[in-house]
Amino acid sequence: MSNQPSSTTGCPFTGELPTDPAELAALMAQVPATGEAAATGIEAPVADWVTIEDLYRDPFPIYRRMRGEAAVHWVPAVNRYMVTSYAACHEIEQDEAIYSADEHNSLMKRSMGHSMLRKDNPEHQVDRDSYGATLRPGTIKKHWNAIFEANNEKYLAELLDKGPGADFVWDYAAPYTGENLRMVMGFHNATQQDLQRWSQTLIDGTGNYADDPDVWALAKKSSDEVDAAIDEMLPYLAKNPEPSLISGLSSMPIPLEAIRANLKMTIGGGLNEPRDVLATTVWALLNNPDQLAAVLAEPKLHSVAFEESVRWVAPIGMYPRETTKDVVLEGVNLPKGARLGVVLGAANRDPKVFEDPEAFNIFRPKKPHLGFGGGVHFCAGTWIARAQVAQVAMPSVFEKLPNLRLDPAGETIDAGWVFRGMTKMAVLWG
Ligand code: HEM
């Protein structure tokens, strides 16, 4: 018997069904497994074996097991459905009508205000457009690259002054990316240390599921400081224009509340990720000497190594969405109002898309990863991140720190799952 259902025995789209069980099975295989058209799916498996501690230490074995079982799980420890397959994460990103970014009871809204990242269109687009040309490739080439180069000189020199054994993350990557973001945003009344503190405390508020009052107090303090700094810079940069975000926003017809929320979200998202991808990429290359040798021989490969690093360890490992109606996602039923975690860290290692996905491999066939998100919320700072890390920092790191290597006497730790990166990385050179 043919596997293809004949037009006389039934059609998945008209509801006429064959009586033969084998034909029926073949027919059902043609029914779309996702989206509104699917009739029904399975209940999400419950992953009660997942703990936050295990996710924080190393989420990848957990993701492997989950993806092998189903594209979506209900995870009690996280109080969300976690979506781990590439296809399902991609589908969510492309359909904001069903998968809304405007989550109810959002901790991010409480910590940072209602930013573009928690709005759907058309409201989202108004905020996104208000960022103008500041983060775009033309402005980076004309303006920011020279500033990134000067900042890189300064903070690499500080790392060199500290001497071998210094921490690559905290003595170089963090202050360098903090200073870049300070200037891109136009906070001439703050320091890169302020940016680092604001970023961490606001992010901690976004993840404060335990409702710790001390975490809220620190987030509120930073939020107030950021508001005061914005209030001071807006009139100044309106009179003294420059390519920064605050300068552009000073002439936009957009409410102050939205400006404040968008800038806080950008402080939260524009510093840790370039810092983390810079350290992770260098760590990965140091652990793969053949790939490092190839990159040193062909500097264009710095960009390839950067993208492979964002795939391999997505700096934003998970972000939230909420369903606006009952839906079946890759064969799994989701009720209206379901809180989802879109797990980019898992999608980027889906073996259905990437061969040998757990390996860092700059020679793998080029395929789009989801590390910068997708759809209407695709990362607005992608080009800024690529410029400061792949174009400016990485080539000079390997040039100014010859024979760079991990310090066996120091600590090297990679950690996190919502955000993942190196938390310690002692290095030697020379
Ligand atoms: C390697 C570095 C970076 C990574 C991996 C990254 C990743 C992401 C991801 C996954 C999203 C979408 C989240 C969601 O849909 O909920 C996003 C959004 C965003 N990112 Fe990035 N990001 C990086 C660097 C930056 C930088 C340097 C900036 C700013 C200077 C920035 C600004 C933004 C903004 C404004 C949005 C919101 C876009 C919107 O809602 O339309 N990002 N980023």
The pLDDT > 90 percentage for the chain reads 89
Whether the pLDDT of residue 180 is over 80: the answer is: yes
Report domain extents, the chain: 52-428
Backbone φ and ψ for 43, nearest 5 degrees, come out as: -70, 145
Work out the average pLDDT over 301-318. 98
Work out the average pLDDT over 2-12. 30
DSSP for 196-224 reads: HHHHHHHHHHHT-TT--HHHHHHHHHHHH
At the top level of CATH, the class of 52-428 is: mainly alpha
CA of 402 from ligand 1 middle (Å) equals 32
The lowest-confidence range among 12-16, 241-245, 251-255 is 12-16
Running DSSP on this structure, what letter comes out for residue 246?
A: H
Backbone φ and ψ for 412, nearest 5 degrees, come out as: -130, 115
For residue 32, name the pLDDT band (cuts at 50, 70, 90). Answer: very low
The pLDDT > 70 percentage for the chain reads 91
CA of 265 from ligand 1 middle (Å) equals 9
CA of 320 from ligand 1 middle (Å) equals 14
- Contacts of residue 306, defined as CB under 8 A and 6 or more positions apart, other chains included, come to 277, 281, 386, 389, 390, 394
What pLDDT digit, counting tens, does each position of 135-165 carry? 999 999 999 999 999 999 999 999 999 999 9
What pLDDT digit, counting tens, does each position of 371-404 carry? 999 999 999 999 999 999 999 999 999 999 999 9
Report pLDDT for 72.
Answer: 98
74 has which bridge partners? 46, 81
Residues with CB under 6 A from ligand 1: 116-117, 128, 135, 181, 184, 266, 269-270, 273-274, 277, 310, 315-316, 319, 371-373, 377, 379-381, 384-385
Backbone φ and ψ for 357, nearest 5 degrees, come out as: -70, -20
Q: Is 178 left (phi over 0), alpha (psi -120 to 50) or beta?
A: alpha
Work out the average pLDDT over 305-324. 97
The chain-wide mean pLDDT, for the chain, equals 91
For residue 1, name the pLDDT band (cuts at 50, 70, 90). Answer: very low
